[in-house]
Structure 1
Amino acid sequence: MNKFFLIVVLLFTGKAKAYEPRDLLQKKATLQQVKTSLVSKDQWIKYPAYANCAAWDKLTGPLKKELIQEGEKYLNYEWKVIRATDYLEYERSGSRVAMENPFGSNNTALSHLLLAELAEGKGRFMDQVINGVWQACEMSSWALSAHLGAQKSRRSLPDFNEQIIDLTSGDLGAFLSWAWYFLHNEWDKTNPVISSKLRNNIEQRILQPYMARSDYWWQAFNYKPGMLVNNWNPWCNFNVLTCFLLLEDDADKLSAAVHRTMISVDKFINYTNEDGACEEGPSYWGHAAGKLYDYLQLLSYATNEQINIFNEPMIKNMGEYIARSYIGNGWVVNFADASAKGGGEPGVIYRYGKAVGSIDMQKFAAYLVNNKQGNNEVNAGRDFFRTIENISSYHELLKTALALPSATCSWYPQTQFCYMKNKAGFFFAAKGGYNNESHNHNDVGTFSLYVDETPVFIDAGVGTYTRQTFSSERYSIWTMQSNYHNLPMINGMPQQFGSQYRAKDVVFDAKKSLLTMDISGAYNKEAAVNSWVRSYTLSPTGGLVIEDVFQMTAAKAANQVNFMTWAKPDISQAGVVLIEKDNRRIKMDYDASLFEVSIETIPQTDPRLSKVWGSELYRLSLTAKKQLLRGKYKFTINKY
């Protein structure tokens, strides 16, 4: 396989968590039941026709002016050509943005223009909408350069012999299906070729390949134990479902396609843990559980609520995860590639909460809107369904009582995520798990600590995606390595990548506010460790105590316990580390007879990281003075 397009084993192979064949959707309806449940577009689409200006005025309400003004910014937009060399740059330098930036710019323009035309209804934006649709149809593919390695050619130029359904090709297919639905009659007044060309494009790029192929990895039709089924599955299937529901008029073909998406989405639900935690982190929740919600809601609409699984407890668990992962002031619990900033999309959270009967989610969504946290944009870009649903539920959301979830602890036993809060303003989060989770970092046993909504001990997250990010070179990137998480290097060795590297004996005691696990299994044999039991205890009114109790088979190199911090630690006083940030003052006590202390300053030149953390992060390293076969380290963290 071409080295530029190696689909990383960490994403698609390796023994993973337990897969439970729940098949909730298939148990809800057979193929024949799907056919009898589906209703016509006129019955399930609740949005007004383009020509019904009064209904659009009512729907958009106070948003109308804003939607039109945003569209006006693109009345003279120059549509960007995505050049062959923009695609080739992914091979040549690893850059994704060379292709993604102009592509994204066009999609943003088109989304604003379409909404403005629907809101105003006077034809003022129509020519530019047609230009955007025509430009999209002239592209060889709607897939990203970074995803074209799934082609049989394994190259980054779109191969006209093969259509790939990825996240963006699916998104654009679904978006353009809505554009066709609302405007094709108007386009026909200009020239019927516009609507027929677009419809033909969507059929060839989405409808036909989805039914003909079973080898798109995200479909998971050929699921085998150990395969990963992540956010791509509900995301892509939602887009496919949208295209079929809006464009397919043959009842047999439509019911077959809908049922096929149900089989595929069941693979994602089967893969997801019963506890509902998103192992990819909160910033991926909108693409994973959030996209599952979109899929299920669309399916429910199209079947007049006859195919509906919102009453399933795990679907509710998947939704409430996003509310419980919120720390405050825009900060969220982040593991793996997720960012520490971003509280979610209020509209999706609110509607999901209504669907599953979660008051916590509805109030949390209202909190985000009223406190201007998370992504409060009504326009969801190329995700037209979310946009139109945001508009439809906007007034209701604004009237909802607001509150943050009151739970003092959240324990996800299968995913092994633990959150604890106390009266002193501490918010603690830690994970067990294994080192082949979706968007994995080698981070078994790591923790984060926030004090009064300010990050103290952190998980850095991930930088801008490049070819290297999802390649065999992934773990050469510092953010992916355990030695740049709040974890020990044992005998000088970091954790290793692979499903066999995992936490053992993970126990959470809610009464004692105690989480304990043996993380020795995350290290290879070179670490020569029999056990390394890490425990976290959060006092109800005080601080956090971290203990490491270990047994080694050999002492090869000094152990090193690392802590990542946002503020620069003060290590001038032996036995004490002082950290101050935003008027929050924290001290960590340690045994000075056991450790030498050092600080590494890590410049943040990557915009994805510096946007969150600023110009620098710090690694605090406590290196053992003695090499011991067994021992105990203790760290006590309090305010001062």
Structure 2
Amino acid sequence: MNTIAFSLKLFFVLSGFIFFNDSVQGSTPRNLLQKRANEQAVKEALVPREKWINYPLYADRSGWDQFLGTSKDGIVTSGESYLKYEWQVIKATDYLEFSRSGSRVIMEEPYNQNLNAISSLFLAEMAEGKGRFIDQLINGVFAACEMTSWSLSAHLSLQLKNKRFPDHNQQVIDLLGGDVGALFSWIYFFLNKEFDKADPLIAQRMKYEIKRRIFEPYMNVNHFWWMGFEIRPTRVVNNWNVWCNSNVLQSFALIEEDPDKLAKAVYKTMQSVDLFINYNKGDGACEEGPSYWGHAAGKLYDYLQILSDITGGKISIFDEPIIKNMGEYISRSYVGNGWVVNFSDASAIGGGDPALIYRFGKAVKSEEMKSFAAYLIRQQNGHLKIRGNRDIFRTLQSATYNKEMGTVTPALPSAPYTWYPQTEFCYIKNRTYFFAAKGGFNNESHNHNDVGTFALYVDTIPFFIDAGVGTYTRQTFGRERYTIWTMQSNYHNLPLINGAAQQFGAAYKSSDVSFNVASKKFSLDISKAYNNEASVKNWQRSYDLSDKGLVIEEAFDLTSLKEPTSIHFLVSAKPVINKAGVVLLEKNSRKVEFRYTKRLFNVEVDTLSLNDKRLSDVWGSEIYRIRLIAEKPQLKGKYNYTIAKVF
């Protein structure tokens, strides 16, 4: 596989995947939150915890029975499985392994198992209320408090100096550390008096660690890249921003007693989250893909809901169109039968958390999202299971709306097309086909160097695909990212022009992008996504979907001929070529013909073995790449291909 060269100006933050490049597309300074309230207004709007927390207190046994309903027994049973759990020690070498081999798993697995045990024990105790889970829960909390850092090994790059080992001199807030802070804040709120019965130092220690690991670094530094404060507005602010800020907001809202300090902290989160909203385009598309929607737009919803709750609804921007657009992206990106449009690092399998989608839809008054959530619940045997996980806020919110969700009629979005003009995503569907394509630029968050690629589903079955991303390692978010084949344009549905693939960087982008609503035709020029080695002046590609199938046309103009251009197509079904000009694909009893002009191309097929479980869980043991190689290279010309179901 080819190693793809990319900009030497690239810098990176491991796992945050924020690329610092001087020419990244700019953001619009909406500052929606700061326009609603300044710090003084925040202080005046804050309401006491007992007014905004609408969950039963620990002692309210009948309240918890009603709150959890039929989920109670399953929650208690889950907690019981951890009563004899052996708390795992995350060793020093587990942290070092990331810098040595690039493996994240060796540190993450035991840490996640401990946190799953803590959250399950906590929720089981809240459900049962007999004190049976308290001692083991204390053991788990104590074990976590003894850790030098709550951060993952892959995220120690947030440290100012040593990037490979937890530094006891500095605390950083990453995705998981923030999760732990929020989880422990809820545990402290509900159970601090129960912990005091064992020993007052236990709850005191929890509160001390939350302040030391969350409050102090958040209020005293601005250098965490995800905050957005010390990067120019033209740089990427991705899901880390709202994920971390929603956790920080929960911790302050649950723990901080000083109203001045609380107001200052809340306002700082508003300033930071505004930077995320500013970065996102008005059409609301999630450039990171549906798999990240729950961590991006979904976490924005969590943040905004908590902010609204703690201010008695006085600080809320759910009425802003961009927020609704960001919510409805998840319903529009759903193809059917569990398949979703998966540009960037997203998986092709998903759909999202139905409870989260429902709450988001309720907040922004989207009947589409609420009906879609009900549809997903119906696909899950018709009921929502409430189970403990470290995102306690979402768990509690799911229980709150569980019965209400059951009253909504399930339905999928009916729109025949969705056009995101700023992000340049285009979805078109009819009774047989679901088509998705993208323009954009090659410095989007979790980017794949894939300007102009497409996916095509037939009867909701993926035939022309994006492979997605394999298991995360150090290379995934480092300088070696584009040596990974799944990130390269030549393993997407795109041309390899004069032997050159697309390049990383904001300068490599689409142009002349258009979507004709009347004809349902999407077109763009992808030539600017390639560097000078491609010697391409213009490469106009258009997609035209009808009930008869998909027609793809390309008109190109090259400045020189170096080697034959080849057009690549990634497919999930094994190609069969019985005659020139036709490739037959068969999957799940559906047959699809891919037709090309036989006199213009020689065709070759590559089998791509999927040894990475994250890929094979989606596609099976292998996928395939069709390569149409120009038989008689020419400087200027046109190609066309058709894809249609065989009835």
Residue identity in the other structure for 1:505: D
Q: Which runs of 5+ in 2 are unaligned?
A: 1-8
What's the counterpart of residue 634 of structure 1?
640
| Aligned twin of 1:447 | 454
- Mean CA deviation greater in 393-402 or 365-374: 365-374
- Kindly tell me: are residues 30 and 375 of structure 1, through their superposed partners in 2, closer, same or farther at Cα, counting changes over 3 Å? farther
Cα-Cα RMSD: 1.6
Q: Is the 8 A contact 1:579 1:586 kept in 2?
A: yes
Residue of structure 1 equivalent to 2:224? 216
| 2:549 is equivalent to residue 549 of structure 1 | no
C-alpha contact (below 8 Å) 2:287/2:423 kept by paired residues: yes
How far apart are the structure 2 equivalents of 1:6 and 1:536?
36
State the SS of the aligned residue for 1:382.
coil
Matched, 1:192 2:210: no
* Percent of pairs with identical residues: 57
Q: Give the Å deviation of 1:62.
A: 0.6
Output the CA distance in 2 between the equivalents of 1:5 and 1:292: 21
Count of aligned positions: 637
Structure 2 counterpart of 1:551, one-letter code:
D
Are the equivalent residues in 1 in contact too, given 2:520–2:545 (CA < 8 A)?
yes
Corresponding position: 1:72 with 2:90: no
CA distance in 2, matches of 1:140, 1:10: 26
| Partner in structure 1 of residue 367 of structure 2 | 359
Alignment correspondent of 1:574: 580
In structure 2, how many angstroms separate the alpha carbons of the residues matched to 1:150 and 1:207? 16
State the Cα deviation string for residues 414-473 of structure 1 (Å, max 9, x = none): 0000000013x1000000000000001000000000000100000000000000001000
Aligned to 2:392: 384
Counterpart residue number, 2:427: 419
Alignment of 1:125-204 (within 5 A): 125-204=133-212
* 1:483 counterpart letter in structure 2: N
Q: Measure the CA separation in 2 of the matches of 1:247 and 1:462.
A: 39
Counterpart of 1:301 (choices 306, 309, 313) is: 309
Is the Cα–Cα contact under 8 Å of residues 325 and 332 in structure 1 kept in the other structure? yes
User: What is residue 492 of structure 1 aligned with on the other side?
Assistant: 499
- Contact 2:181–2:251 (CA under 8 A) maintained in structure 1: yes
User: In the aligned structure 2, how far is the partner of 1:542 from the partner of 1:581?
Assistant: 19
- Partner SS for 1:507: strand
Residue number among 536, 545, 549 corresponding to 2:543 in the alignment = 536
- Quote the Cα distance in structure 2 between the aligned partners of 1:142 and 1:375: 34
Q: SS of the residue aligned with 2:578?
A: coil
Name 1:343's counterpart in structure 2: 351
> 2:64 maps to which residue?
56
Instruction: Give the conservation status (yes or no) of the 8 Å contact 1:336–1:439.
Output: yes
How many angstroms does 1:15 deviate by?
Answer: 2.3
CA distance change for structure 1 residues 502 and 377 in 2, over 3 Å: closer, same or farther? farther
Q: AA paired with 1:36?
A: E
Residue 354 of structure 1 and its aligned partner are, at CA, apart by 0.2
- Displacement of 1:572: 2.5
- Tell me the equivalent position of 1:36: 44
Q: Superposed, which structure 2 residues align to 1:504-515 within 5 Å? A: 504-515=511-522
Q: TM-score, normalised by structure 2?
A: 0.97
> In the TM superposition, what are the counterparts of 1:253-264 in structure 2 within 5 Å?
253-264=261-272
Change (3 A) 1:312 1:9: closer
1:125-156 superposed Cα distances (whole Å, 9 cap, x missing partner): 11111111111101111100000022122432
Q: Structure 1 residues 322 and 622 mapped into 2: Cα distance closer, same or farther (>3 Å)? A: same
- Select the residue among 102, 107, 110 that pairs with 1:99: 107
SS in structure 1 of the partner of residue 142 of structure 2: helix
Give the secondary-structure state (helix, strand or coil) at the position aligned to 2:577: coil
- Give, in whole Å, the separation in 1 of the partners of 2:279 and 2:597: 44
After superposition, the Cα gap between the structure-2 partners of 1:363 and 1:4, relative to the gap in structure 1 and judged at 3 Å, is closer
1:558-577 CA-partner distances (Å, limit 9, x unpaired): 01000000011112310001
Q: What does residue 16 of structure 1 align with?
A: 24
Aligned-partner Cα distance in 2 for 1:18–1:88: 37
Q: Aligned in 2, Cα 1:7/1:319: closer, same or farther, shift over 3 Å?
A: closer
In structure 1, what is the equivalent of residue 5 of structure 2?
none
**Maintained 8 Å contact 1:380/1:386:** no
For the residue of structure 2 that corresponds to 1:491, the secondary structure is coil
* Residue identity in the other structure for 1:479: T
Pairwise CA distance, 1:377: 5.0
Which of 605, 611, 622 pairs up with 2:617? Answer: 611
Matches within 5 A, 1:220-239: 220-239=228-247
- Does 2:483 match 1:476? yes
Q: Which residue of 1 is the match for residue 474 of structure 2?
A: 467
Q: CA deviation digits over 1:523-572, x for unaligned, max 9?
A: 00110000000000001x21000011100000111010000000111123
8 Å CA contact 2:12–2:20 kept in 1: the answer is: no
1:23-80 Cα distance to aligned partner (Å, 9 max, x none)? 1000001111100000000110001111111100010011111111111111111111
- Cα shift at 1:9: 7.8
**Residue type matched to 1:506 in 2?**
V
Is 2:561–2:634's contact at 8 Å kept on the other side of the alignment? yes
- Residues 401, 284 of structure 1: CA spacing in aligned structure 2 closer, same or farther, 3 A cutoff? same
**AA of the residue aligned to 1:399:** T
Is the 8 Å Cα contact of residues 18 and 237 (structure 2) preserved in structure 1? no
